[in-house]
Amino acid sequence: MATAQSKAGDIRRRGLMLVVSSPSGAGKTTLTRSLLNDPQEKDHLSLSISVTTRSRRPSEIDGVHYHFVSQRQFDVMRDAGDLLEWAQVHGNCYGTPREAVEKALEAGRDVLFDIDWQGTQQLYGAMRSDVVSVFVLPPTAEELRSRLERRAEDSDEVIRQRLHNAAAEIPHWDEYDYVLVNLDLDESFSRLRAILTAERLRRVQRPEMTRFVDGLLEDLKKITA
Ligand code: 5GP
């Protein structure tokens, strides 16, 4: 006979949307990639792959890091309502394709979003109860600049623009559920993991828990009768 305890592991929940934002260079991409590459997460967490009109960096792969599209293709998707949110960042358009996200959440899989504050606000408006948001801050302004320079994939002009944009992005830190100051990558990673673990246990994420608890109470009644 399946006891309430043995059934507990089977309780399905709706997936959550883990949104991570930060100014470029704060370490967000390293943190989110580490989470996605964690073998434990293989069947549980996937990245929402955005569409963007920005040109591809040499290290990027189309369909893996982004879907690189023309402005026309982007406009068609946006006008057809195929994007869950979209924004202009650093002069380029970025957006989240709707269908992949909705399917994953329905199937109980969590989705990770590497999007900016404008996109986060749109997701709050559309599906606040599904969203868990984390803002990553650099430890110092100097460190932010040297991380952007070390990346060396962008021109001096682009780096200057990104630093300028950081000053506009950072004031939005207090619109997020959690804030990480990324002084040490390992430490920040374990904190990000702790956030995800705790959020997965939230009652609202587990609608089928009611059925489990009813079964538990019924079993209890039998034992105590
Ligand atoms: P990058 O060009 O460095 O890959 O990304 C620039 C900024 O755009 C980052 O802050 C990133 O989080 C944001 N971004 C990437 N994809 C999306 C998206 O689909 N929607 C929104 N709103 N922002 C995005």
User: Residue 14: pLDDT above 60?
Assistant: yes
Secondary element (H or E) of residue 88: strand 83-89
pLDDT of residue 9: 55
Least confident span in 116-120, 161-165, 201-205, 219-223: 201-205
Judge if the beta carbon of residue 96 lies within 6 A of ligand 1. yes
User: Residue 33: pLDDT above 50?
Assistant: yes
Q: How far apart are CA 95 and CA 29, in angstroms?
A: 17
| Selection from 22-36, 67-81, 134-148, 189-203 with the highest mean pLDDT | 67-81
Domains within the chain, CATH numbers bracketed: 4-48+108-213 (3.40.50.300)
pLDDT of residue 169: 94
Tokens describing residue 140: 């110092």
What percentage of the chain exceeds 70 in pLDDT? Answer: 94
Instruction: Dump pLDDT digits (tens) for 105-146.
Output: 999 999 999 999 999 999 999 999 999 999 999 999 999 999
Judge if the beta carbon of residue 166 lies within 6 A of ligand 1. no
Residues in the chain: 225
Please give the angle made by the CA atoms of 149, 150 and 153, to the nearest 5 degrees. Answer: 75
Tokens describing residue 224: 């105590």
pLDDT of residue 1: 46
User: Considering the chain, what is the average pLDDT of its residues?
Assistant: 91
Judge if the beta carbon of residue 50 lies within 6 A of ligand 1. yes
Entry pTM: 0.89
- Judge contact between 24 and 117, C-beta under 8 A: no
The bridge status of strand 17-21 relative to strand 131-137 is parallel
Judge if the beta carbon of residue 135 lies within 6 A of ligand 1. no
Q: How confident is the model at residue 150 (pLDDT cuts 50, 70, 90)?
A: confident
Instruction: Dump pLDDT digits (tens) for 62-78.
Output: 999 999 999 999 999 99
- The Å distance, Cα 8 to ligand 1 centre, comes to 38
Nearest CA to ligand 1 atom 21: 115
